[in-house]
Structure 1
Amino acid sequence: MNRLNKSHVVIFVFSGLTDNEQLAPFLFAFFLNVYLVCVVFNFGMMLIIITTSNLHTPMYYFLSYLSLVDLFYSSVITPKMLADLISKTKLISFQGCAVQFFLFDVLVVTEALLLLSMSYDRYVAICHPLIYVSVMTNKKCLSLIFLCFSIGFLQSVIQTSCVFSLEFCGPNFIDHFYCDVPPLLILACSNTLLCDSITFFFVSACGVCSLMIILVSYTLISYSILKIKSSEGRQKAFGTCSSHLTCVSIFFGTVFCTYLRPPATALEKQDKSASVFYTVIIPMLNPLIYSLRNQEVKRSIKKAFHMGP
């Protein structure tokens, strides 16, 4: 707390998505629609899973929590971003910046770990189908969900404490549309080596390691699928995995583009584009991908709206 009191900066100023006043209304309308679709589809996905008995399986249990995390982590960033697009002053308090940073960090890491848990579920279901029911019990699923949120919370406490215990005594202009590690560390007056190291460690541990385990899981899954003699069986097995693989590829690809890069003195345009994608677009895409590529979800949606069997 003593170090926090040394900070001279009490308010940060965002650059926002654009400084083009003519482009801002178009971006506001576009991202407002994206956010509304995100809210409707993620809430709808959770509702369908809760109310459809044949979706009460571990895979959809994880998917419902993925939709919950997507809904919240988009809501941490997007409403403020939309407000700034139609405002001449894009301000956030020091405390508000810390809260936004903390919540977003919790949710984005939890999402990565949920995607890892879902790959484990698919591995057990396809590679060890005879013991799937005994392995993926309700208790184990709940434990995995609790572990994902706990790790997300603990690492965010560490990162937030590190970043916001730095001294911010000079410029307060954040060249971004939300509070994130790279643009904040650029503004710090004190040495940021420890925070850089902690960020790199958590991105590697929660991001790179998660992705490596997912890839190993899907290598084993692919080997098991190829041994299935029935083409219909292979197609069904691949179908249950394709949605998850698509979400994994998009999420980890954009996150790594932002965080696993050499430190720079300024945020580049492609970094902002990648950030927009994984903070605003991906939370909308995930339920769309699962609803369009998963036959069970599609049937449940049709049934809910009386569109046929």
Structure 2
Amino acid sequence: MYSLAEQKAWRHSLQEVRPRAMWVPHYPFPLALLEPSNRSVLPFVTVHDVLHLQPREISGQSRPRQLYARAMLNLDGRRARRIFTPSQATALALVAAVPSARVTVTPIPVSETWFTPVDSGLSPVRGRYILYIGNAKHHKNLPLLLNAYADVAGSIPQNLVIAGGGEAVRTTDSRVVELAAQDKDRVRVLGRLDFGALRALVVGADLLIMPSLFEGAGLPPIEAMASGTAVLCSRIQVLRETCGEGADYFDPYDPAELAALLRHYGRDDEALAGLAARGRSHVVKRQELISIASSVEIVCSELENP
């Protein structure tokens, strides 16, 4: 991804297949589509987020990477027949950056698997714990969670588990390594897990925390809600859009605000159960709305193209 090899692969595919249309699953634009022999191919693109356009203190991206992203997104805006985004917040950010973009919002539903029972014995963790799922890239803001947890670890029964990032957890953000090492008895860092173990880990958590500074949509929180796990999220627009009334929120720059929520829900099982029920209700309604919207879109398409 994001390489010359990727561009070569696209060119080869276009030469072999000679398609009428092409869908690209992330924002880099196939430069081969600018060649005269491919001008008739209709490009469609999915832009998951505009993270690479954000300031370095959020994205962690260098200036050359930001320039690359802007050039590619501008090509998407000029040449793509349609750009799909997973949230309204991402659509608005994209259009602000690339006014020519023709955007359709396609919210990502939660896989029905997350609503089904799971074997708790598959979880690699026992006891009570708070969970973070994902990588440790700069915008994920893991130091905030680690600092907040350090403030309350002595007053709540839950340990902190960080999972799902594989090598990224250990190498992407050195701050995470240093902070996690300060309390090895209470903070456990796992690598990548197979899906059964991951689901069991989510189901067994008291809380799932998403402290991100920036996201394109935010799947882990709504997957946790579907699993019956309570969720705390950073108060950024896209997570409020995705999680709605199903989560409680905190300032992603204020560890004390997150610490207060951890202390509250870590000590109050009744409040924890109420938050989990609220999340489950939200994600069920969200699934229904996405299904209705998809059905309406199919009917409209049939009416337009009988």
TM-score of the alignment, normalized to the shorter chain, above 0.5 = no
With a CA cutoff of 8 Å and minimum separation of 6, indicate the structure with the bigger relative contact order. Answer: 1
Q: TM range, normalised to the smaller chain?
A: under 0.3
- Normalising by structure 2, report the TM-score: 0.25
Which protein has the bigger helix share?
1
